[in-house]
Structure 1
Amino acid sequence: MESPRTPIITLPDGQLIGTRDDDIAVWRGIPYAAPPTGDRRWRAPQPVIPWEGVRVADRFGAAAWQDAQTCRDIAGGDPGTFDEDCLWLNVWAPAEVSADAALPVMVWLHGGSFTLGSGGLAPYDGRALARRGAVVVTVNYRLGLLGFFAHPALQGEDISGETWNFGLLDQIAALYWVRKNIARFGGDPRNVTLFGESAGGRSVLSLLASPLGRGLFDKAIVQSAYTLEDESAEKAQARCMAAVRHLGAGIDSDAATLRKLPADALCAAGMPFTMGPVPICGDRVLPQSMMRCFMAARQHPVPVMIGSNSDEASVMNFFGIDLAQQIQRMRRERRLGLGLIRMLYPGVRNDAELGRQVCRDMAFTTMGYIVMQACRRRKVACWRYWFDYVAAGERERYPHGAWHGNEIPYVFDNLALTPPVNDCAEASDRVFAGQVADYWTAFARWRPGQATILDGPLRWPASGPGHDGVLRIGVRRCAGFKLERRFMRARARLFRRVMRHHVSLD
C-alpha cells in the first residue's frame, strides 16, 4: 500500500484509488480480466486491458446476467446492474498497514446455483473480517449459459483443450490476479484462503479437483457444498443445443452466430435450458467429476474447513423438490437402504420430517465426511463444523434450524447488513456472530506446521487419526459451541455408499 492514509494502489495495469471507511480501505470494481464480450464470449478470460491515469474504484462493477428478483429473494440481495462485462473483484484491507504487512488473504466465491449472485452483495461486505487483520477479496464470475456452455460449435476453439466451465476459469483468473497483486494491498500472496458457500463452496471443491487450480490458494473453506454429481458432457451439450434452438438459432449455427445472441435472452432462457447447480465434467477445467476426485482422494492437498447447516433441505424448495415424496418414492421403488435409513433416524415418524433430514444429510452433511476422509488420506488438516444457530428473533421463522445460507452473516459478522435478521438481531446474536467470524479468521491466519487447533470460545482441533470430531456452532438453535465425536458417522458412512443412487435433480 503506497500510503497509510490514501488508498491509492499502483498495479501493473494502472493506478487505483479506493475509499476509506474509518480504519478500512476499500477498492470496488477492480477488473481482473478483459471484458468477456463480443468475440471473447465463451473463451478463457483474457488479460486486463491497461488504463491511463488513476481509476476511481469506489463502486461495484456490474453483476453477471441473472434473474434480479430471484437473487433478491433467495441469493443475498439486490445484485445491481447486469452486464456481460462482469469480471470484477473488490478488496477490503486495514487502512493503516504497509505493503509488507503480509496479512492473511480471504477470497470469497459467492453462491447462487451458478446462475445468481454477485461479490458486491451486502452480506459479503468485508469490513468486519478486515478489522480482524485479513485482506478480503470478493469475486464476480460468469453465470448461467454465459458461464457454462458446452455447445458443439465451440469444439476445437481453445488450443489448450475443450473448455466449457468459463465461470470456473474466471475464478482461476481472479486467483492469479490475487497471487500477482495482493501484496500491494498488504496481503500475503502465500497465505490465501479460498472460501465460498453453496455454489461458491462447490466452486472451491471444483478448484481443489481441477488441475488448473493447483498452487493458486493455500487453504480452503467449504460452506454448504452439495453431493450432486457434475453434469456430464453429453447432457450439457444437449441442454445447450436445446437452449439455442429455444432462442431461435439454427441447429447448425456456428460460434460467431451464437456469440451474437443477446446476453439478456441467454439469461432469460430459464429452466430447463440454463446452467446449474453444478459445473460440467469432461473439459480441461474438470477432466473428471469433483465427487470422483474426492472419493479417490486425488484433490490438491491443502488444509480444509468444511461444514453445513442444520436445515439445508430448505434450499430444495427452490428446485421444486417435495421432501416427503422423496421418502415415498424410495418406498414405492423399494430402493435398497430405506429400512436401514429409518433405523438411523429413531423417533422420526412422518415422511415430511424424515425426508427433510435424509435429504439434508445425503446431499449436504455427507460432503463434509467425504472431504474429511480425503484430507486424511492426503495427510492434510481438516476442520468440520455443523451450524445450528438461529437469532432469537427468528426462531419462529426457522423452527427446524439454520437454513441454507443462514451462516453467511455470522461468518462475515454482518448481521446489521443482512435482512431480515438485521431487523431483529439482539446484542447476544451480534456477540455470537463475532465469535463465528473469529474462527474463520483464525483459520485464515493458521499455517501448516502449527498445532492443528483453532482458538475460540472452544479450542477446535482438526480431525485426524482416531479423532473424527465436529464443532457444533450453535446447539439446538441457541448460542453455544460443542465438540462432538463421530457426528452422524453411521449416516455418513451409509450415504457415502448409496448417494449416487439417490442424489439427483431428476
Structure 2
Amino acid sequence: MRTTPPRSARRSLLALGLGTALVAGALATAAPAAAGPGKGHGNGHGNGHGNGPAYGVSAPKVVTTDDGRLRGSVVDRSYRTFEGIPYAAAPVGDLRFRPPEPAQDWRGVRDAREPGSACPQLPSASNPTTSVDEDCLFLNVTTPAGLDAEREDLPVMVWIHGGSWRTGSGDRYDAGKLAVEGDVVVVTINYRLGPLGFLAQEDLSDAIGDVGSGSAGLLDQQAALEWVEENIDAFGGDPDNVTIFGESAGASSVCAQLAAPGAEGLFDKAIAQSYSCTTRYETLDEAEAVGAGVAEDLGCVGGDVVSCLEDASVEELLAAWPSSGGQFVVGGSALPRQPAEVIAAGDWNRVPVMHGNLQDENTLFTPLRIPSDQYGYLLDPANYEAVLGARFGSLAPEVAARYPLAEYGSPLRVLAAIASDTGSALSTCEHVDAYQVLDASYGSAEVFAYQFRDQDAPALVDFPFPPSLYDEGAQHAGELPYLFPNLFGGPLTAEQQELSTAMVRYWTNFAADGDPNGAGVRTWLPYADASYVQGLDVDSAGGIGPVDVAAEANCEFWASLN
C-alpha cells in the first residue's frame, strides 16, 4: 500500500456536451459479449505469434497486490478479469472535491468478480447508468487467461472512458478481445464525474491549495496510473510499458495528461480517439464563476461555503450541475497551462502518440443541437439556399459550391458534414491542426494519425430520417465496437470483423513499442502531412491506407474563410 498521497431505447445516448449541452455521448450500454480467443500477430512483445498467445502454466485466479489479495474470474477460458479493485480511498466527507488519498489495505481475499459502483451520475432516459455512490474509485484488469504466473512483461493499456466528463464507467468495456488477440493487459478505470470531479469554486480552491479546485477527476486518473505502476506486475503487466487510451472525453483526458506535470513518468504512450489535443479548456477563473452559480443554487453563500458544499447531497449536486459544466480546469498546479500551449512549446510529457477521429463525427450531434420541430425544414432540399444563407450570409454560395446538395441530399446532412469537417474538438480540421502541432513539437519521435471511415459502422444512435436525406456514416463512437466487441448494436459483419482484427493489432502493436506496424497489417506511415493519415475502412469501401483528410474536409477552404 502507498503511504503517501498520489502524485500531484435502442441504443444508448450519453451526455457528451462539447461546448453546449448535447444529448448524446461516447459510450454504449449493451453488455459486451465474451471475446473468443483471436489470432496473434507476432508483434514482438511477450508471446505474440502466428497462432495467438500460448502459455504452459495457467495463471492463478488469486493475485496479490500492495493492498491485499484479489480473486478474479476466467471468461470462456480466454481471459481473466479482476473487477471492482479500489485504487484510492472513497472520496467522501471532507475528501469530496479533494485530491485522491491512498486506498486502504484489506485482509483475506477480496472478491474481484463483480464491478464496483459507477461514479455519481444522473439517471435519465439517455443515460442507463444511475449512481449516487461516491465510493466509486475502482478499476478493472483484464489479462489473457493462460498467462504464465511468472511473466511480468506484457504491455499495459489503460482505458479512460468518455461520456462528457459526467457519465460512464470502466466496467462497460469488455477488453477481452484486446487482451487475447493483442497479448496485453488492459485496465479500465472509473474517475469522479460532473461536480464531484470538476467543480471549481473560489472557497474550495482556497481550502485545497495550489492544486486548485476542479481537478479531482484529472488527479483520480493519475492515482489509477500510480496503482498500475505499483501493482500491474502481479497481473503479468510491465509497469514500464503503459499506454493510456481513451475516446471522446476519455481522449480529452489523454490530452490533458500529456500536459499535466503530475502525470510525468506514469505512462509511456498515448492514444487519443475523437478529441483534439489542441482544444482549449476553461481557466480556473472561468470555472470558478460557474462554480459560484452552483454554490448559489445549493444555498451555499456566506459562512462556511466549503462545508456546505461537502454536506450537500449527491442528488442536489448533480441537479445543480449546469449542462455546460465539466471538462478540465487550467490554472492550478494539476494543469497549469493549456495543453495546446504546452505541446506547442515542447514542454509536454513527450511520448509516442496515436491520434485520430471519425470521418462523420458530428453526424451524431447535429440533429441533437436543433429543436425537433425544425427537422422537417432542415431535411427539405428546397430550403438548402435559405439554410446556408442564414448560416453563412454572403459566403453561402462558396459553401454551397464545396458542399453541393446533390451530393448530400438535405440541408441537415450538409450542416452535419460541415460540422464534421471543421469547428469543434471532434472535427477533422481541428485534428489536422493537432497533428501538425504534435509533429512539430516531437523532434525525432513520431505521431501516427488515423481516420475511421466505415460508413456502415454500428451507430450509437439511429435517427428516424430517410437515408437519402440523412446518411449517418462513420459517426462519433462508431469505432468502439471494433475494439470492445458488441458495445452497442448488433454483431459486426465478416468484413467489419476483419477491420476490427486489424485495428486491435494496430492498437496493441502501438502499445508494445510505439509503432502500430507489424505482421498481418498494412503499413501505417507516421504523420508527415495531412496525406499521411491512415484511413481505416472495410476493404470493399477503400480499405486501409493513407488518405488526404485535409483535402477531403476542405480545411484550406475553411481556413481561408476564417
Please report the TM-score for the alignment, with normalisation by the length of structure 1: 0.85
The answer to whether 1:460 aligns with 2:524 is yes
Say if 1:476 and 1:19 are closer, same or farther in 2 by CA, change over 3 A. Answer: closer
CA distance in 2, matches of 1:125, 1:486: 31
Give 2:446's match in structure 1, choosing from 381, 392, 409.
381
- 1:488 corresponds to 2:551: yes
- CA separation of 1:11 and 1:475: change in aligned 2, threshold 3 A: closer
Structure with the higher fraction of residues in strand conformation: 1
- Whether 1:279 and 2:328 are equivalent positions in the alignment is yes
State which of 520, 533, 537 in structure 2 corresponds to 1:474: 537
Write the deviation string for residues 190-219 of structure 1: whole angstroms up to 9, x where unpaired.
111110000000110011111122111111
Partners of 2:159 and 2:554 in 1: CA distance: 30
Structure 1 residues 70 and 235: CA distance shift in structure 2, 3 A: farther
Moved more, 436-445 or 187-196: 436-445
Q: Secondary structure at the match of 2:220?
A: helix
- Which has the higher relative contact order, 1 or 2, with Cα contacts under 8 A spaced 6 or more apart? 2
Q: Which residue of 2 aligns with 1:19?
A: 73
From 115, 140, 147, the equivalent of 1:60 is 115
Count of residue correspondences:
477
Matched, 1:199 2:249: yes
Of 412, 422, 425, which aligns to 1:352?
412
Cα offsets for 1:340-379 (capped at 9, x unmatched):
7666556768653442222212222134323322332212
Q: 1:183 Cα deviation (Å)?
A: 1.1
Contact preservation (8 Å) 2:161, 2:169: yes
1:68 is paired with a residue of what secondary structure?
coil
Residue type of the alignment partner of 1:483:
P
Name the CA distance, whole Å, in 1 between partners of 2:70 and 2:561: 52
**Structure 2 residue 161 is matched with structure 1 residue 110:** yes
Q: 1:241 aligns with which of 292, 302, 308?
A: 292
Q: 1:89 to 1:342 in 2, by over 3 A?
A: same
Letter in 1 for 2:509: A
Alignment partners' CA distance in 1, 2:346 and 2:553: 21
The CA distance in 2 between the partners of 1:87 and 1:373, in whole Å, is: 36
| Cα distance change, pair 495–105 in 1 and its aligned pair in 2 (3 A) | farther
Distance 2:539 2:290 in 1: 42
Structure 2 match to 1:400? 472
Moved more, 348-357 or 358-367: 348-357
Helix, strand or coil for the counterpart of 1:293? helix
Is 1:182 paired with 2:232? Answer: yes
In the alignment, is the contact (CA less than 8 A) between 2:177 and 2:483 conserved in 1? no
Task: Name which of 415, 421, 433 aligns with 2:500.
Answer: 433
Q: For 1:50, which of 99, 105, 111 is the aligned residue? A: 105
Mapped partners of 1:358, 1:83: distance in 2:
41
Structure 2: gaps spanning 5 or more residues:
1-54, 379-385
* SS in structure 1 at match of 2:206: coil
The residue matched to 1:435 in structure 2 has which SS? helix
- Residues 149-174 of structure 1: per-residue CA shift (max 9 Å, x gap): 11111133234432421101101111
Tell me the amino acid that sits aligned with residue 543 of structure 2. Answer: G
Partner of 2:269: 219
Cα distance in 1, alignment partners of residues 251 and 232 from structure 2: 22
Q: Does 1:149 align with 2:199?
A: yes
Distance apart, 1:180 and its partner CA:
1.2
- Indicate the SS of the match to 1:369: helix
Moved more, 401-410 or 232-241: 232-241
d(CA) in 2 for partners of 1:248, 1:26: 44
Deviation at 1:176, TM superposition (A): 0.9
Q: Are 2:292 and 1:260 aligned?
A: no
**Is 1:290–2:353 an aligned residue pair?**
no
2:217 matched residue in structure 1: 167
Measure the CA separation in 2 of the matches of 1:494 and 1:180: 50
Partner SS, residue 461 of structure 1: coil
Confirm whether residue 250 of structure 1 aligns to residue 250 of structure 2: no
How much has 1:35 moved relative to structure 2? 0.4
Contact 1:384–1:470 at 8 Å: present in 2 too?
yes
Compared with structure 1, are the counterparts of its residues 221 and 498 closer, same or farther at alpha carbon in structure 2 (3 Å cutoff)? Answer: farther
- Residue by residue over 1:81-124, the C-alpha shift from the partner in whole angstroms, topping out at 9 and shown as x without a partner, is 44111100000001222343411111000001101111011xx1
Once residues 403 and 30 of structure 1 are traced to their aligned partners in structure 2, the CA distance between those partners, rounded to angstroms, is 33
Match of 1:300 among 342, 349, 358: 349
Residue in 1 that maps onto 2:392: 331
Q: Give me the whole-angstrom Cα distance separating, in 1, the residues matched to 2:543 and 2:240.
A: 33
Segment drifting more, 211-220 vs 474-483: 474-483
CA contact (8 A) 2:356 2:450 kept: yes
Distance 1:214 1:327, change over 3 A: farther
Who is 1:137 aligned against? 187
| Superposition deviation, residue 488 in structure 1 | 3.1
- Which stretch of the first structure deviates more once superposed, 244-253 or 321-330? 321-330
**2:281 maps to amino acid:** D
Q: Distance in 2 between the 1:119 and 1:222 partners?
A: 16
Letter in 2 for 1:96: G
Amino acid at match of 1:267: L
Q: Does 1:411 align with 2:411?
A: no
- Counterpart residue identity of residue 211, structure 1: P
Residues 252 and 354 (structure 1), Cα distance of their counterparts in 2 relative to 1, 3 Å cut = farther
Contact 1:392 1:426 in 2 (8 A): no
Distance 1:220 1:61 in 2: 26
The answer to whether the 8 Å contact 2:508/2:516 transfers is no
SS of residue paired to 1:120: helix
Question: More deviation in 364-373 or 316-325?
Answer: 316-325
* Pairwise CA distance, 1:419: 2.9
Structure-2 change in CA distance of 1:219 and 1:211 (3 Å) = same
Amino acid at match of 2:535: R
The residue identity in structure 1 corresponding to 2:337 is Q
Tell me the distance in 1 between the aligned counterparts of 2:516 and 2:501.
22
Deviation, structure 1 residue 463: 1.4
Identity of aligned residues (%): 33
* Amino acid aligned to 1:180: E
Partner Cα separation in structure 2 for residue 215 and residue 497 of structure 1:
40
- Amino acid in the other structure paired with 1:192: V
The question of 1:37 aligning with 2:130 is answered no
Query: Separation in 2 of the partners of 1:66 and 1:492?
Result: 37
Residue type of the alignment partner of 1:361? D
Cα distance in 2 for residues equivalent to 1:468 and 1:55? 51
On the 8 A contact 1:439/1:455 being kept in 2, the answer is no
Alpha-carbon distance between aligned partners in 2 of 1:497 and 1:230, rounded to the nearest angstrom: 25
Q: Check conservation: 2:205, 2:212, Cα contact below 8 A.
A: yes
- TM-score, reference length from structure 2: 0.77
Q: Deviations over 1:50-107 (max 9, x none)?
A: 11111111111111111233554xxxxx436441111000000012223434111110
Equivalent position amino acid for 1:459 in 2? T
What is aligned with 1:504? none
Say whether the 8 Å CA contact 1:24–1:131 is kept in structure 2.
Answer: yes
Equivalent-residue separation in structure 2 for 1:326 and 1:18 (angstroms): 56
CA gap 1:180/1:428 in 2 versus in 1, 3 angstroms? same
